[in-house]
Amino acid sequence: MSKVTWSGGVEHWTKKGDIKLFLWEKKANPGVPFQGTIFFIHGSSMASQPTFDLFVPGRPFSSAMDWFAAHGYDTWTMDNEGYGRSDKHRNINFDISNGADDIAAGSAYIMEKAGISSMHFYGISSGALKAALFAQRHPERVAKLALDAFVWTGQGSHTLEQRKKKLPEFLAKNRRPIDRPFVHSIFERDHADCADKVTVEAFADAILTLDDSMPTGTYVDMCSKLPLVDPQKIPVPCIILRGEYDGIAGMDDLIDFFKLLPHTNKQFSVMRGISHASFQQKNYMMVYHLLHSFYAMPEPVYQG
């Protein structure tokens, strides 16, 4: 495995009580019209920088943070407690609710640092659940919310059906080991051709540089405690992103969730040729375009 380092950004630290949380910032490129601030939230099995600031030789803008910075956004991400560079010492399994608390602490830091009152959020997989729960608790901080590979009740999720078979194992300990074959499995379980091998290996290198185990809390929550959020209590503009081949996000489940979202500025997009981990897929540029279009859309002149 090659050791991965990250450059071009600024590291920050904040606290949630006495817990240290790591944040990573890349500012909007100068000379580009400023579009706003995005806070990216990672999933269950990888920290923030591998997910959102990945470098792959020959693959332009593998770093979502770089692409959005080039298009006028200040970009931030954070390692949830239990992941990456953030504190891991507590004897807990770092569940969805705890992750939403992390977002509250991280967003408060960003807002104070940047002098803003709200920002855009993007969460993927369990990160989407954390972002949705945070939006339910703190809607005033959310300009627009993007939920990728999201699950609501878990109905129709083939991946969760398989994962539930290991629920007793996840309940028995706070962390689970990960290795390179595990990272490969993220891309092989649904539709292996959606991601290229070079990107998958670079992603594995980046993940394993920071962690050799992951918390079990999000797995326990997604296998046994859904639903964790109430769409009717998320009164913010929202886009639901669902990969065509994603085995974790049941289509009917997402549509039912979408129907109940109260804000009329809402979108549902099925991403063709994409499975899970959309930023690491061959069609990743399509995902960037969808997000940018949603975040940059002007407010309607007429609202009825």
Residue 129's φ and ψ, nearest 5 degrees, are: -65, -45
Q: Does residue 1 lie in a domain region?
A: no
pLDDT of residue 3: 75
Q: Is the pLDDT of residue 39 over 60?
A: yes
Q: Does residue 156 lie in a domain region?
A: yes
Confidence tier at 1 by pLDDT (50, 70, 90): low
Q: Beta strand pairing status for 142-148 and 36-41?
A: unpaired
What does the DSSP 8-state code read for residue 7?
Answer: -
Q: Does residue 301 lie in a domain region?
A: no
pLDDT digits (tens, 9 = 90+) for 11-29: 999 999 999 999 999 999 9
Phi-psi region of 8 (alpha: psi -120 to 50; beta: other; left: phi over 0): left
pLDDT digits (tens, 9 = 90+) for 216-257: 999 999 999 999 999 999 999 999 999 999 999 999 999 999
Q: Does residue 37 lie in a domain region?
A: yes
pLDDT digits (tens, 9 = 90+) for 130-170: 999 999 999 999 999 999 999 999 999 999 999 999 999 99
pLDDT of residue 82: 98
Q: Is the pLDDT of residue 271 over 70?
A: yes
Q: Beta strand pairing status for 175-177 and 213-215?
A: antiparallel
Percent of the chain with pLDDT over 70: 99
pLDDT of residue 304: 85
pLDDT digits (tens, 9 = 90+) for 179-219: 999 999 999 999 999 999 999 999 999 999 999 999 999 99
How many domains does the chain divide into?
A: 1
pLDDT of residue 5: 87
The CATH number for 61's domain is 3.40.50.1820
Please state, in angstroms and rounded to a whole number, the distance separating the CA atoms of residues 47 and 206: 9
Residue 25: name the closest of 77, 103, 93 by CA. 77
DSSP string, 176-220: EE--HHHHHHHHHTT-GGGS-HHHHHHHHHHHHHH-SEEESHHHH
pLDDT of residue 2: 64
Which domain range does residue 166 map to?
A: 10-296
Q: Does residue 67 lie in a domain region?
A: yes
Q: Does residue 5 lie in a domain region?
A: no
Q: Does residue 40 lie in a domain region?
A: yes
pLDDT (mean) for 261-268: 97
pLDDT of residue 92: 98
pLDDT of residue 275: 96
Mean pLDDT rounded to a whole number for the chain? 97
